[in-house]
Amino acid sequence: MKNLDSYPITARWAPRNATAIQLYSLPTPNGQKVSIALEEMGLTYDAHLVDFASNDQLSPEFLSLNPNNKIPAIIDPDGPGGAPLALFESGAILIYLAEKSGLLLPKAKRYEVLQWLMFQMGGLGPMFGQLGFFSVFAGKDIEDPRPKERYRAEVERLLKVLDAALDSKDWIVGEYTIADIAIAPWLGTLRDFYKVGDIVGWRDLKNVSAYLERFLTRLAVQRGRVVPIPG
């Protein structure tokens, strides 16, 4: 295990516990994935708030860890071989944490889990985010209806794919995994923050709503959804 002082980001966000996984994040859907996974896996972590309102993600210190200026990112002081590991991209972090802990990525269903994780990373998350942009953020003022409709229709399609995959199952591969931790926070954001359920056929889905509620009742999820705490 090496001293974390060699990472420039620690000059701005000083570790409170230098032996813990350092998490740099914000309670957005992508950020929640990693904090929830850490809670579910029981891994010790030190959460640092990256405040978008202050453009923390554009600071030289944060960019030294993630040049793509997105949260979440981590430094594990006890990475492979005992050396520190710095990592960004929520999907990559989920896989790493699952392999480190030996949890939530069952060997027998490994590729099925990764399949649905990629479904979220490549489709569900980006499309939900675009619909949110055109429904809640600056895009809502664009008069041309075509951009919003493009994303609305794709979100509706993706929800139907997910709903069919959940038929007769509590979780996306049958047991709870990092794929669910990736998918469910975006469902909650779509329904409760973007509030676009009525235009994407939410009420017509047979399984998605109950799936989200199962997820939200988990204690580790409830803890992880509010990490890091602003202020």
**Residue 212 maps to which CATH number?**
1.20.1050.10
Q: Based on the fold, state whether residues 132 and 185 are members of the same structural domain.
A: yes
What is the distance, to the nearest Å, from the Cα of residue 17 to the centroid of all Cα atoms in its chain?
23
Q: What is the pLDDT of residue 141?
A: 94
Residues 114 and 88 in one domain: no
Please tell me the pTM assigned to this model.
0.96
Read off the CATH number of the domain in which 76 is found: 3.40.30.10
Domain count, the chain: 2
**In a shared domain, residues 43 and 85:** yes
Domain-embedded: residue 230: no
Looking at the fold, whether 78 and 140 belong to one and the same domain comes out as no
- 214-217: long-range contacts, CB 8 A cutoff, minimum separation 24: 214/170, 214/171, 215/180, 215/184, 215/187, 215/188, 216/184, 216/188
- Judgement on whether residues 136 and 87 belong to the same structural domain of the protein: no
Q: Is position 69 within any domain?
A: yes
User: Are 215 and 203 in a shared domain?
Assistant: yes
Domain residues for the domain of 174 are: 107-219
Asked if 114 and 98 sit in the same domain, the reply is: no
Gap between the Cα atoms of 22 and 62, Å rounded: 13
Contact call for residues 211 and 168 (beta carbons, < 8 A): no
225 lies in a domain? Answer: no
Based on the fold, state whether residues 83 and 134 are members of the same structural domain.
Answer: no
Residues 98 and 113 in one domain: no
Q: Do residue 129 and residue 213 come from a single domain?
A: yes
Same domain for 89 and 147?
A: no
pLDDT in tens, the chain (231 residues): 457 999 999 999 999 999 999 999 999 999 999 999 999 999 999 999 999 999 999 999 999 999 999 999 999 999 999 999 999 999 999 999 999 999 999 999 999 999 999 999 999 999 999 999 999 999 999 999 999 999 999 999 999 999 999 999 999 999 999 999 999 999 999 999 999 999 999 999 999 999 999 999 999 999 999 999 765
Burial of 12: CB neighbours in 10 Å, binned 0-12, 13-18, 19+: middle
Full 3-state SS string of the chain: CCCHHHCCHHHHCCCCCCCCEEEEECCCHHHHHHHHHHHHHCCCEEEEECCHHHCHHHCHHHHCCCCCCCCCEEEECCCHHHCCEEEECHHHHHHHHHHHHCCCCCHHHHHHHHHHHHHHHHHHHHHHHHHHHHHCCHHHHCCCCHHHHHHHHHHHHHHHHHHHHCCCCCCCCCCCCHHHHHHHHHHHHHHHHCCCHHHCCHHHCCCHHHHHHHHHCCHHHHHHCCCCCCC
Whether residue 229 is contained in a domain is answered as no
Of the three residues 103, 137, 156, the one that is the final residue of a domain is 103
- Same-domain check for residues 8 and 77: yes
In this prediction, residue 1 carries a pLDDT of 43
Residue 192 domain flag: yes
